[in-house]
Chains A and B, each alone.
Chain A
Amino acid sequence: ILNVEQSPQSLHVQEGDSTNFTCSFPSSNFYALHWYRWETAKSPEALFVMTLNGDEKKKGRISATLNTKEGYSYLYIKGSQPEDSATYLCAFLMDSNYQLIWGAGTKLIIKP
C-alpha cells in the first residue's frame, strides 16, 4: 500500500513568522510530486508540480524543495500572513500511473 504522510497534521503560526512542513512519499518509482493549497469553502489550488530531484520552486513567499532519493518534500512559507491560513496538500505520482496518491494535509492557522 502506497502512503503519503504529511506532518504536522496542524500548525499554529504567529503572523510574520516563517514556517515549514513536510510531505513524505515512497522513494521508488518517483514520477512527480504535487503541492496544493485548500482554503476553507474554496477549491484546492495547485501551487507546484515537482519532477526532478533537488528541484526548488518558488511562488511569492512560498517555496518547496524535493528530495526523491529519500522521499520527502518541504514546503516553506516566509513571513506568514492571515491569507496563508489553509490546508496544504501534497500528492505523489508513481511512474506514469493515472492516480495521484494524496496526503491528509497540514492545516495551517496564522494567528494575527
Chain B
Amino acid sequence: ETGVTQTPRHLVMGMTNKKSLKCEQHLGHNAMYWYKQSAKKPLELMFVYSLEERVENNSVPSRFSPECPNSSHLFLHLHTLQPEDSALYLCASSQGAYQGGNQPQHFGDGTRLSIL
C-alpha cells in the first residue's frame, strides 16, 4: 500500500467515449502528478499540480483534461481519445510545493487504458 490509490485499474473505451481517471493520496502531500507510460518508453510527465494549482502542462493534447479539486484528489478527464493514447497512466504525489528535489515521489498502481 503506497498511500496513492488509482481507479479504475483497467479501462477500455471507444474513441468517442468520455471517461475519467481518479487518483487519491492519503499521505498529506501537496503536489500531484499525472504520467503516461507507453511500452518501452520512459515515463512522460503530463501534468503537475502544486497546492491545487497546475504548474506544468507538457504540451498534452486537449483531449486530456486534468482537475485537482483539493490536495488529496486528482482527476484526468478523457474525451475523444486516439488509439495511440493506449498506455499505462500513473498518478504520483510528493511532499513539498514542487518536485521538491530531494523528496521522492509516491506512485499509484496505474490505470491501464486501451482505446478501441
Show the binding face of A for B, using Cβ within 8 Å. Answer: 4, 31-32, 34, 36, 41-46, 49, 51, 89, 91, 93, 96-105
- A43 touching B2 in the complex, CB below 8 Å, given contacts A51-B102, A102-B42: yes
Q: Is B42 within 8 A of A98, CB to CB?
A: no
Q: Quick check: is B104 within 8 A (CB to CB) of the other chain? A: yes
Chain B contact surface mostly: loop
Complex: how many Å from CA A15 to CA B98?
40
Residue of A nearest to B108 (CB): A43
Residues from chain B with a CB closer than 8 A to the CB of A32 are 101-102
- A46 touching B101 in the complex, CB below 8 Å, given contacts A4-B42, A99-B45, A100-B45: no
Show the binding face of B for A, using Cβ within 8 Å. Answer: 2, 4, 40-43, 45, 48, 50, 55-56, 58, 90, 92, 98-99, 101-110
Residue of A nearest to B35 (CB): A102
- A102 touching B43 in the complex, CB below 8 Å, given contacts A46-B105, A49-B103: yes
Q: Is A42 within 8 A of B58, CB to CB?
A: no
Q: Is A43 within 8 A of B109, CB to CB?
A: yes
Partner of A98 from B41, B56, B107, B108 at Cβ < 8 Å = B56
Extra A-B contacts (11), CB below 8 Å, given A46-B106, A49-B102: A32-B101, A36-B104, A42-B109, A45-B2, A46-B105, A49-B101, A49-B103, A49-B104, A99-B48, A100-B99, A104-B41
